[in-house]
Amino acid sequence: MSNPTQPVGPGLPETQTMVTDQVVPPAQEGQRKGKQKGGKPASLWTDAWYDLRRRPMFILSLIIIAVLLVMSFWPSLFTSIDPFNARTCDLSTARQLPSAGHMFGKDNLGCDVYARTIYGARNSIVIGVFTTLITALLGGLLGIISGYFSGAIDVISSRVTEIFFAIPPILGALLIAATFRGRANSIMLVILALALLGWPMTFRIMRAAVITAKSQDFVVAAKALGAGAGRIMFRHLLPNSLAPVIVVSTINLGGFIAAEAALSFLGVGVQSPDISWGLMIADARNRFLDAPLPLVFPAVFLSITVLAFIMMGDAVRDALDPKLR
C-alpha cells in the first residue's frame, strides 16, 4: 500500500482514553493574563457588540444616524412642503423669522428653511456613503494586494499613495471639481473627487492590517495545504483585517460629509437647484448678520451628522481594539 488507509472512525483503538467533547472557555489554558480570565467564549465581533451595546455614545450616534437615514429616504415624512417646487417660495417673505407654518423661518429667496434642511440630508448621506464605499473598496482591494504580494507592487502603490497624501485634500478636490464642473452631474463629481483623494487612507490601513495578519500561522498552514493567492487573500486575510478598515471608514464618512459642505460652500460642489447643507450655508452667508437663522439650522444639522459618524467610529474602534479593554 502506498497510501495511508482512509481516516475513518470505526478503527479507533480501545486504548483511547480521552474525554474531550466538553467545551471550555479558552481562558483555562494558554498564557492569558488574569484580566481576561473567565471571559466567556466570544469572537471579536460578538465581544465588540456586547461592548457597544453598553456605550451611551454609540447608542446616541446610532439613533441620530437612523433618523438621518429615514430623513434622506423619506423626507416627506418630516415636511409637507416640497422645496423643489418653486411655488413654495415667496420672495416677499424672505428672511421671515420662524412661525407656526415655517418652524425654521425663511431664507433669502423666501423658501422654507426647515423643508430645505430636511431635503438636504439626502445629498449629504448619499455623498458620504458612496464616497466611503468607493474608498473602502478601492483602497481595501489595493491594500490587500499590496500587503500580500509585497515586492514591486507594494513599493509602487505605496509611493503612489504617498503622492496623494502630499496633496491637501480640499485643495485637490477643489481643483478636480472646478476643472470638470458642468461636464458631469455635480453630485457624482463631488463623490469622485473626494473618493480619489480619500482612498490612500483606507489603502494604508488595509495594507498594515494585512501585513500583520500575513505572518500568522494559519496563513502558513493554508499555504502548506496548497491554497492559492486568491483563497489566502479573501478567505484568510480579508476577514482578519476588516476591523480597522471599518473603523476608519465610519470616521471618514463624517469627514466626507463635511468636505462636501465645504466644496458646495466654495461653489464647486453640489449645484442649485439640488439642495445641500453646504449650499444653504453659502447662500445664507451674505445676509448672516441680519438673518443668521437660515445659516445656523443647516450648520447645526451638518455638525450633528458629522459628529454622529465620528462618535460611532470612535465607539467601534474602542470596542474592536482589545488593548483598550
Q: Which residues bind another protein (CB under 8 A)?
A: 1-9, 11-13, 15-32, 34-44, 50, 216-218, 220-228, 231, 235-236, 239-240
The distance of closest approach from Cβ of residue 19 to another protein in the complex, given in angstroms and rounded to an integer, is 5
Count the alpha carbons within 13 Å of 146 in the hemisphere toward its beta carbon.
23
What Å distances lie between residue 145 and 110, 195, 202, 239, 325, CA to CA? 54, 19, 13, 14, 31
Instruction: Provide the β-strand partners of residue 112.
Output: 106
The distance of closest approach from Cβ of residue 164 to another protein in the complex, given in angstroms and rounded to an integer, is 20
The distance of closest approach from Cβ of residue 133 to another protein in the complex, given in angstroms and rounded to an integer, is 22
- Shorter beta-carbon distance to another protein: residue 196 or 315: 315
DSSP 86: G
- Shorter beta-carbon distance to another protein: residue 44 or 178: 44
Contact 205, 146 (CB under 8 A): no
d(CA 296, CA 283): 12
The distance of closest approach from Cβ of residue 228 to another protein in the complex, given in angstroms and rounded to an integer, is 8
d(CA 137, CA 144): 10
The DSSP annotation for 117-156 comes to HHHHHHHHHHHHHHHHHHHHHHHHHHHHHHHHH-HHHHHH
- Shorter beta-carbon distance to another protein: residue 11 or 56: 11
- Shorter beta-carbon distance to another protein: residue 209 or 302: 209
The distance of closest approach from Cβ of residue 300 to another protein in the complex, given in angstroms and rounded to an integer, is 37
Instruction: From 284, 9, 241, select the one nearest 141 (Cα to Cα).
Output: 241
- Shorter beta-carbon distance to another protein: residue 37 or 285: 37
Contact 317, 245 (CB under 8 A): no
- Shorter beta-carbon distance to another protein: residue 59 or 184: 59
Instruction: Provide the β-strand partners of residue 106.
Output: 112
The distance of closest approach from Cβ of residue 15 to another protein in the complex, given in angstroms and rounded to an integer, is 6
